[in-house]
Structure formats: structure tokens, C-alpha cells
């Protein structure tokens, strides 16, 4: 995932007049998705740690992401038809233990651990799977007991040396759907997430070897349309399963940043690069238009002034193609923090990179609801000062994820029995949530606001948010000293916010 494509020809300059102006926007929006991808594929540190060391490492990572006021973690649990969680369907991932099929010793469940730890912090956990990929190199082999050995006819090897499920087979889709249903039934995830790997990135001059399944299921179709149809069928099937099992769980996709170039499609972007519609057979705007996908995170990993794939151009294009669903922009931290800003437009003088510009630009767009950082490890390592900048400037206050109102728009009941009391020797706010049998209306997170005494201010300004938590108590900073007035609201699973209780 997350590769930067080198393009063949130079055909465009930046759109005139777009580089110097960023429309006025709220510097600190109260509602904003702030995600971070945490991948395990290619990461060697996990196999070198025992379970206790891994848990401590993950706690440290989450604490740092929380310091940057991230509110969602996209955690990779199935990089190549394997499992970084307890599964009876697929073998343990070698990226977790160092050996395909080898369980942690002692056995523990990283997915459940990450759910517990993110929810405790008031953050979301998005379970990130790759649908089709089975191996990561020519020498890589599926672990013993993998479904590959039972049904080798479901799989194809491409010229890149990797093994894939054949997307043209209903059996492939049904098995992937079975894996997703198992995750949904056993884990309290907030979203299911898939990245840009659908059909594999093409090897020049070599077609994907799916002639057999095409002859069985695709006769009468243009082959490229048939391949896109296969991916559509998987997306629609997974959407249906989510709606059946846990309708509050969101479905998110992170496609390659270019859908189509304008030279090939009048509705495409003014770019000249690989097209996910044609190369990966991913018609991603269709998925939001059909209501199958709840959020899109296009991978906008180029600098604003890139001559073949300008982030400036692409940010405007995706804003215009949100289709009434949430749009979060995927940003590569290395790229953002390694390029100087292109305009003197009143940005953060202490941060001359494109970080401030990009965030202010997307916050000015009507249909953009947040950002996701690639990878989260570059935030936690404070690459080029990005953590410091986010924590002190661009994301210095917590934010609520915008509500998914097409799934649920009803506010949960307000909290009650709000008190200030000592707990384990510390001065705390404590409260209780109202019981309900409706999972859509359950309070799962809480927002704590603080105001100067005597000022029951409105809840619209993020500057007053002290914290978002999954607990029903909160240790007051500085022992609760000072003349403060507090409010607590409840959030349901779709981020609808209740009326406040005051203290």
C-alpha cells in the first residue's frame, strides 16, 4: 500500500490562480476525522518483540497519537489473507510473529487489545484488511493450513510473483465475506477498512491471468468492465454483510489518489498518472454514490505543486466527488513535511512545510471531513517535527468525528449523576449513562468541556473541549484547581452528541 507512482510523461502545469489562495476556514474545527494508518506488513519490530513488549509499544504509539489529537486508528489486521488476531479461518500473520502461521507465545489477541486501548482513549478502531493479496513476494508461501491448499483453484499468481485470490470467482468473494462476517461478529470494531490493492498494480505488458474465470463468468462483457464489476460485487456484498450484522459499523476505502485523468474521461482530474479505474479496476466514486461505502480516503501523497499529480488539483477533484458520504484526505507525512509551502498566505511561520497549507485548504472545502496520516509511525516518531506542530498548532484541541447521519441521526440520552469527587485520591468528574437496549443509542464515548466559572458557553468551539474518553470518569487536570465550570455530553456509535449535563 501507499506507493508513490512515477509517471511516464509531463503534460500539465498547475491550475492557474489556485496556488496562492486558501479560503478562510476554522482553524480548529470541532468536528474532524483525524486518523492514522498503522500497518504491520513490512514492519520488523513486531516479530522482534514478545507479547508484553508489543503491548507496551502499542500503548506508547497510541499515547503519542492521542497527543497529536488523532481520534481514529486504522490498524492492519489482514495484510495478506492472514490474521493479526485470533482466527479459525486464516493463519497467524508472519508480520506479527516472524513465521507464517505461528501464534504469539503466549497467545494474545492484538485486535482486541487495540480495540480496548483506543476505546479507552475515546478513539475509534478501524480494522484494515487487504481483500485479495495472499503473498508479498516470489519467495513467500501461504502458511500451513491456509485455504489456498484446500482450494488452489481460487488463486492466481501474477507476474509480480505474488499470489492473489481470483476476484472473478464467487468463491473468492464468499470467503472474503466470511472472514469479514467473523470479524464483525466477534469484535467491537468501529469500521472495516480496505486500501488501494484490488486487482494488483499492473506489471508493464503483462495481463492478469484470469482467462479461465473470464471464460466462465465474463462472456459477453468487455474484460475491463467485467473486472470492475467483480470488485463492485465484493464491495456491495461486504456492505450488505455489515448492514446485516452490525449496521453501525462503517465501511471505508482508501483508493489510489487518481480515479481517471481528464484526457481519458471528461469527469476525470487534470492529472497524468496511473488511474485506479483502469489499472486496479476500482470505480471508487461509484461505491459512495451507490451508498455501499461510508467514507473515502483517497491517497493524496503528492506535493501541492506536483506537475503530473498536483495535490492541489486532486483535493478539489475529490471534494467535488464525495457523493454525500464522508471524505478524508490521506496524506503522506514524509511528503508533507519534506516540501516547502508554495505560497505566502498567512500560514504557520514556525512550520514552513506544506502541513499548515494542506490542512487549512481541506478545512475550507465543503465536502471534506478530515485527514488520515500515512503512516502513523511517522507521527509518533515526530518526523521533521510533525507531532509537535500538530499538537501545538493545527490539531491542538480534540475533535469529534463528524456524525454518520445516514446510518443514525438520533442523539443519545444525556448523562446523569454528574459529580466532582475524589477517586483513588484524585479529583475526578464522574457520571452515569442511561441504559438502552438499542445499540445505536448506546453512549460509547463522552466529551468533557471546561469553561470559566459562571460562563455556561455554547459547545461549538473546540477550544473548550478538555478531552474525549471512553470512560465514565475523568481525572481533572491540576487536581481540578481553578474556578471552572464543566459540561459532559454523550456520543453514540455514529457520533451523534447528546445535550450537556453541567457541573
CA dihedral of 198, 325, 189, 500, whole degrees rounded to 10: 170
Tell me if 141 is assigned to some domain: yes
In terms of domains, do 202 and 69 share one? yes
Answer yes or no: is 203 within a domain: yes
Q: What is the mean pLDDT of residues 404-427?
A: 94
Whether residue 288 has pLDDT greater than 60? yes
Same domain, 279 and 425: no
| Mean of pLDDT values over 474-491 | 88
Q: What is the pLDDT of residue 454?
A: 78
Query: 108 and 139: one domain?
Result: yes
Residue ranges making up the domain that contains 363: 33-394
Give residues with Cβ within 8 angstroms of 465, minimum separation 6. 30, 397, 398, 399, 447, 448, 449
Is 72 domain-assigned?
A: yes
pLDDT at 295 (0 to 100): 98
Choosing from 343, 361, 394, the residue where a domain stops is 394
Task: Say which CATH number the domain at 440 has.
Answer: 2.60.40.10
Q: What would the pLDDT profile of 134-172 be if each residue is shown by its tens digit? A: 999 999 999 999 999 999 999 999 999 999 999 999 999
Does 436 lie in the same domain as 367?
no
330 against 456, higher pLDDT = 330
Residue 36: its pLDDT value, please?
Answer: 98
pLDDT score of 22 = 43
- Residue 20: pLDDT band (50, 70, 90) is very low
Q: Indicate if 378 and 446 belong to the same structural domain.
A: no
Which cell is 361 given?
485548504
Q: State the pLDDT confidence band at 344, using cuts at 50, 70 and 90.
A: low
Residue 43 maps to which CATH number?
3.20.20.80
Tell me: do 443 and 350 sit in the same domain.
Answer: no
Whether 71 and 197 share a structural domain? yes
Does the residue 23 lie in any domain? no
Q: What are phi and psi of 172, to 5 degrees?
A: -65, -50
Which residues, at least 6 apart from 8, have a Cβ–Cβ distance to it below 8 Å?
A: none
Q: How far apart are CA 343 and CA 189, in angstroms?
A: 41
pLDDT at 424: 85
Q: What is the mean pLDDT of the chain?
A: 93
Q: What is the C-alpha to C-alpha distance for residues 448 and 446, in angstroms, rounded to an integer?
A: 7
Contact predicate 82/97, CB 8 Å: no
C-alpha cell at 16: 492557474
Are 357 and 424 in the same domain? no
Tell me: do 256 and 370 sit in the same domain.
Answer: yes
**Is residue 401 in some structural domain?**
no
Count of structural domains, the chain: 2
Dihedral sign, Cα of residue 458, residue 462, residue 468, residue 474: negative
Average pLDDT score over residue span 439-464: 91
- Tell me what pLDDT residue 7 has: 34
Determine the pLDDT at residue 482: 75
Residue 399 forms part of a structural domain: no
Q: Per-residue pLDDT for 66 more than 60? A: yes
Contacts 24+ apart (CB under 8 A), 291-294: 291/239, 291/325, 291/406, 292/235, 292/236, 292/239, 292/251, 293/235, 293/239, 293/251, 293/252, 293/253, 293/325, 294/191, 294/250, 294/251, 294/252, 294/325, 294/326, 294/404, 294/406, 294/407
pLDDT tens sequence across 182-240: 999 999 999 999 999 999 999 999 999 999 999 999 999 999 999 999 999 999 999 99
Residue written as cell 479505474? 277
Per-residue pLDDT reduced to its tens digit, 88-98:
999 999 999 99
Shared domain for 382 and 424, answered yes or no, is: no
Question: For position 14, what pLDDT does the model report?
Answer: 33
Return the closest-CA partner of residue 202 out of 280, 285, 266, 277: 280
Same domain for 373 and 477 = no
Residues 245 and 334 in one domain: yes
Amino acid at each position: 500500500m501507499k506507493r508513490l507512482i512515477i509517471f511516464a510523461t509531463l503534460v500539465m502545469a498547475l491550475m492557474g490562480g489556485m496556488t496562492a489562495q486558501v479560503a478562510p476556514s476554522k482553524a480548529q474545527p470541532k468536528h474532524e476525522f483525524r486518523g492514522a494508518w498503522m500497518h504491520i506488513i513490512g514492519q520488523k519490530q513486531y516479530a522482534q518483540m514478545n507479547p508484553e513488549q508489543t503491548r507496551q509499544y502499542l500503548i506508547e504509539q497510541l499515547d503519542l497519537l492521542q497527543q497529536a489529537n488523532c481520534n481514529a486508528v486504522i490498524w492492519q489486521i489482514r495484510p495478506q489473507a492472514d490474521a493479526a488476531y485470533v482466527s479459525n479461518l486464516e493463519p497467524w500473520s508472519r508480520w506479527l510473529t516472524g513465521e507464517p502461521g505461528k501464534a504469539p507465545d503466549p497467545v494474545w489477541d492484538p485486535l482486541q487489545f487495540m480495540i480496548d486501548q483506543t476505546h479507552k482513549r475515546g478513539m475509534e478502531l478501524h480494522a484494515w484488511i487487504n481483500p485479495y493479496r495472499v503473498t508479498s513476494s516470489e519467495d513467500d508461501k501461504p502458511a500451513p493450513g491456509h485455504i489456498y491448499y484446500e482450494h488452489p483453484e481460487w488463486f492466481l499468481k501474477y507476474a509480480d510473483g505474488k499470489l492473489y485470490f481470483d476476484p472473478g470467482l464467487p468463491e473468492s468473494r464468499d470467503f472474503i465475506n466470511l472472514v469479514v462476517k467473523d470479524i464483525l461478529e466477534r469484535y467491537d470494531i468501529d469500521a472495516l477498512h480496505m486500501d488501494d490493492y484490488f486487482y494488483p498494480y499492473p506489471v508493464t505488458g503483462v495481463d492478469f491471468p484470469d482467462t479461465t474465470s473470464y471464460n466462465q463468468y465474463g462472456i459477453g462483457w468487455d474484460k475491463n468492465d467485467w473486472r470492475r464489476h467483480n470488485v463492485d460485487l465484493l464491495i456491495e456484498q461486504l456492505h450488505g454483510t455489515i448492514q446485516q450484522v452490525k449496521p453501525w459499523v462503517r465501511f471505508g476505502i482508501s483508493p489510489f489518489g487518481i480515479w481517471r485523468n481528464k484526457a481519458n474521461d471528461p469527469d476525470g482530474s487534470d492529472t497524468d498518472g496511473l488511474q485506479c479505474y483502469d489499472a486496479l479496476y476500482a470505480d471508487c466514486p461509484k461505491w459512495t454514490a451507490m451508498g455501499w461505502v461510508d467514507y473515502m480516503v483517497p491517497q493524496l501523497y503528492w506535493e501541492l505543486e506536483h506537475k503530473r499529480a498536483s495535490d492541489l488539483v486532486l483535493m478539489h477533484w475529490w471534494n467535488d466527488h464525495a457523493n454525500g458520504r464522508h471524505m478524508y484526505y490521506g496524506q503522506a507525512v514524509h511528503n508533507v513535511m519534506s516540501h516547502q509551502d508554495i505560497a505566502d498566505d498567512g500560514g504557520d511561520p514556525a512550520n514552513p512545510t506544506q502541513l499548515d497549507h494542506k490542512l487549512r485548504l481541506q478545512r475550507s472545502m465543503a465536502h471534506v471531513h478530515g485527514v488520515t496520516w500515512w503512516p502513523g509511525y511517522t507521527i509518533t516518531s515526530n518526523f521533521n517535527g510533525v507531532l509537535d506542530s500538530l499538537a501545538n498548532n493545527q490539531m491542538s484541541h480534540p475533535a469529534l468525528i463528524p456524525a454518520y447521519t445516514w446510518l443514525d441521526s438520533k442523539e443519545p440520552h444525556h448523562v446523569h449523576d454528574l459529580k466532582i469527587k475524589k477517586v483513588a485520591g484524585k479529583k475526578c468528574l464522574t457520571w452515569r449513562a442511561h441504559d438502552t437496549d438499542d445499540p445505536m443509542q448506546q453512549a460509547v464515548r463522552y466529551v468533557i468541556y471546561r469553561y470559566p466559572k459562571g460562563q455556561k458557553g455554547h459547545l461549538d468551539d473546540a477550544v473548550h473541549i478538555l478531552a474525549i474518553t471512553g470512560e465514565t470518569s475523568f481525572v481533572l487536570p491540576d487536581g481540578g484547581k481553578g474556578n471552572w465550570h464543566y459540561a459532559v455530553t454523550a456520543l453514540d456509535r455514529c457520533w451523534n452528541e447528546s445535550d450537556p449535563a453541567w457541573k
